[in-house]
Structure 1
Amino acid sequence: MPIKGYGVLKGIAIDGKDERDNSTPHYQIRMIGEDNTDYRIAVNVMSSSHESEVLYLVDEQYDASSITILPTMSNGFTRITKDNRDIALDYVRGELFDPSKMVPLPHDKSGPDNDLNDKIQKYIEKAIKEKAICYVYGSEWGPENNKPDKIFGFEPGRGVHNVHMNQGNEGRWKGDNGSWQDGGILIQFKDKWVAIFLAFLSQSWCTNEKGHSTESCSHTDVKKREAVPAR
Structure 2
Amino acid sequence: MPSPATEIDVDGVKVRLTSPDKPYFPKLGKDGTKGKLFEYYLAVADRMVALLRDRPVHLQRFPDGIDGEEIYQKRVPQKHPDYLHTCTVTFPSGRTADALKITHPSAIAWAAQMGTVTLHPWQVRCPDTEHPDELRIDLDPQPGTGFIEARSVAVDVLKPLLDELGLVGFPKTSGGRGVHVFLRIATDWDFIAVRRAGIALAREIERRAP
Taking structure 2 as the reference length, the TM-score comes to 0.29
Relative to its length, the structure with more strand (as a share) is 1
Relative to its length, the structure with more helix (as a share) is 2
Taking structure 1 as the reference length, the TM-score comes to 0.28
